Amino acid sequence: MSAPYGGCTPESASEVHPVTTRDPSSIGRWVSLVRTRSSQIGTSAAASTGEEFTTCGDLELDSEVARFLLEPVRSLLPEWSCSQEDGSFFTTRPPASRTATKLRAIPLLLFSINWASSGPGYSWPEAYYVTPVPELGVRIVTASVDTDEITGYTDLAIGMCSSVRSPEWGTKKIITSWWRRGCGIAKPWEMLWSPGLISGARAERWRKEFVWHPE
């Protein structure tokens, strides 16, 4: 339900060098749970498990990890805001901490989409970021929306991949698995809003290759 928002372009993203991440116990616990879950079901960490939305088995933890990682780019995430009857201003994105970028790795935008437009000025955006966690040897992929109506949270960690090759390596499987298991949307997304590490043409190919299941 937002207007299009900014983010890293492929050129600017390549110039960002992640600083050391403060690894709270929640991230280490999340990584451990995802690995355990993956071994139990015999598929990748982002595969469908029959449980909607959650990656590690604990939706609240998925959100906690995502919110921590995304703090440095909070102002770039999908946001819904409005003025209330009492004159106060409501937003789903409080201001980011001034020290956030000094303490944490910088999330890199993969790309962002609009699932649909339900009316003038009403859209349903989702942004995908990848954040390196060098201490654990992984990159964590997150999905962000501007409302908690679907899952109860605006940000979720939706999968992880090894810290090898280029930053976007391994993210296709995570994101397309998320489309399959967690979005609750049967139709293809409507439009690309912002390319990032994944170009617009590449994101469109993922969209065309994905097998959607209309109701």
- The predicted model gives 135-142 an average pLDDT of 93
36 Cβ contact partners less than 8 Å away, ≥ 6 residues apart? none
Rounded-to-integer distance, Cα 104 and Cα 74, Å: 13
Instruction: Give the least confident one: 1-10, 31-40, 49-58.
Output: 1-10
- Cut 0.75: pTM above it: yes
Greater model confidence, 17 or 80: 80
Cross-strand partners of 81: 91
Neighbouring C-beta atoms of residue 187, cutoff 10 Å: 11
Q: What does the pLDDT look like over 174-206, one tens digit per residue?
A: 999 898 875 556 678 999 999 999 999 999 999
Greater model confidence, 211 or 195: 195
Query: Which residue carries 């909607």 as its tokens?
Result: 52
Q: What does the pLDDT look like over 61-118, one tens digit per residue?
A: 999 999 999 988 888 898 655 555 666 655 557 665 554 445 568 899 999 999 988 7
Tell me the C-alpha to C-alpha distance, in Å, between residue 118 and each of 82, 114, 122, 186: 17, 11, 6, 15
Give the per-residue pLDDT at 47.
42
Q: What does the pLDDT look like over 117-129, one tens digit per residue?
A: 876 667 889 999 9
